[in-house]
Amino acid sequence: MFLLPKGSPLFENLAASKLKLPEVLSKLSTAAFTGYASFIFPATTTLLVFESGKLVSIQQEDQRGEQKNGFEALTELAEKIVTSTSGTLNVYKLSKDLTACIHSLLQGEILYKAQELKLIDIKSLLDKIKSDQMNGCLRIYTADRSAMIFYKEGNPLGFFHDGSQDIETSSVESQKIATMPGAKIDLYSTQGAEALMDMDLLQVTNVQTIWDTAVERQQSESAKVSQERQERDRKIMALKLNDLEEQLKTIVSEYCGKVGRAMVDKELSDQGGNFCIIDENGAAKLLAGIERGAKLLISATNIRAMMEKLTNLVQTAQSDL
């Protein structure tokens, strides 16, 4: 996924699940922040670019490389924060110029994506950029590091790498990354600054409403899932209790005859149903009732044997359930 070089870190690795999106955006806006914030989740990365507190660009990219922008990206981000238990927020301060470059990069078009550096004739590519007088960005990256080279009209503007707050002139970092195993490049063509829309997305979207909707949806989903789980658990419990009841009746009728089943039914009914089997007090009363009835039907020896079996069954059930 899209990884920008780290600028001057303001916050790093904040747990996204503990944050509220409207508050985060409001703070960055109020502080006239310039730079970018990245929300990194296992399946998506969302970049929010701020210029003097204005949210000028937002882009979300998933693992397949599909991108979303604007309102759609904001909505997705809200959903992710609310539903995900993992995810981090990093906020990096950048200069206005570098921020403008990032902004135009995000609005740009990708020409080459994820090309392995060792398979590319990099010299020819650079010549092409110059000859086409491209406005663009060449991103050199590995799994966890990246550097960028900005071009204006085919000429390199400068570099952006981890720790930079402004456009750098040194290419050392970029060269270092280029020599790392598995290094890749992306080439973007970007629009000129004058062509970019300088709209503050926070003014045209109601972030609080987006957030509230996401929270409500998540709560409703959670409630539904919880309800479904409870329903499922109830059904499983009911099946287990019915099975227990049947085992009880089998044991009692083994000793007392057919009348034993009816006797168990009556005692269960007196105790409010078969849930009493797994309740300590209820089970004690149930067994006492069965024993009382059995005394009129079978011998003391058989009563003892039957009660032992019933007690073992009930105790096992209580510990399992």
**Among candidates 210, 200, 216, 215, which has minimal Cα distance to 22?**
210
Q: Which is nearer to other proteins, 100 or 306 (CB)?
A: 306
126 or 303: CB nearest other proteins: 303
252 touches other proteins (CB under 8 A): no
Minimum distance from CB of 288 to other proteins (Å)?
11
* 256 forms part of the interface with other proteins (CB under 8 A): yes
User: Contact between 296 and other proteins (CB under 8 A)?
Assistant: yes
Nearer to other proteins by C-beta: 224 or 304? 304
Interactions with other proteins, residue window 122-151 (CB under 8 A): none
Q: How many residues bind other proteins (CB under 8 A)?
A: 18
Tokens of 16: 């996204």
Out of 258, 281, 319, 320, the only residue in the binding site for other proteins (CB under 8 A) is 258
CB 307 to other proteins: min, Å: 15
Q: Phi and psi (nearest 5°) for 122?
A: -65, -35
Q: How far is the CB of 18 from other proteins (least distance, A)?
A: 60
Is 266 a residue that touches other proteins (CB under 8 A)? yes
The residue to which tokens 């397949």 are assigned: 64
259 binds other proteins, rule: CB under 8 A:
yes
Positive or negative, the CA dihedral 107, 113, 118, 119 is negative
Where are any strands of DSSP class E within 16-145? 35-40, 44-51, 54-62, 67-69, 88-93, 109-116, 136-141
- Report CA-CA distances (Å) from 61 to 1, 69, 142, 168, 299: 7, 9, 17, 26, 77
Q: What angle separates helix 21-30 from helix 207-256, to the nearest 10 degrees?
A: 160
Q: Does 286 bind other proteins (CB under 8 A)?
A: no
Compare residues 48 and 294 and give the one whose CB is closer to other proteins. 294
Cα 111–chain centre separation: 31
Tell me the DSSP string of 271-308: TTSGGGGGSHHHHHHHHHHHHHHHTTTS-HHHHHHHHH
We find the least distance from the C-beta atom of residue 268 to other proteins, in angstroms, to be: 11
Neighbours of 296 (CB within 10 A): 8
Residue in 88, 78, 16 with CA at minimum distance from that of residue 218: 78
| Contact call for residue 295 and other proteins (CB under 8 A) | yes
**Binding of other proteins by 250 (CB under 8 A):** no
Among 297, 305, 307, 309, binds other proteins (CB under 8 A): 297
**Cβ pair 98, 106 in contact under 8 A:** no
Q: Which is nearer to other proteins, 131 or 301 (CB)?
A: 301
Whichever of 19 and 297 has its CB closer to other proteins, that residue is: 297
Among 203, 219, 226, 299, contact with other proteins (rule: CB under 8 A): 299
E strands present in 199-245: none
Closest separation in Å from C-beta 266 to other proteins:
4
Choices 4-12, 194-202, 223-231, 291-299 (CB under 8 A): range interacting with other proteins: 291-299
Residues comprising the chain, all counted: 321
User: Residues 292, 304, 308, 321: which binds other proteins (CB under 8 A)?
Assistant: 292
- Residues within the interface to other proteins (CB under 8 A): 256-259, 262-263, 266-267, 292-293, 295-302
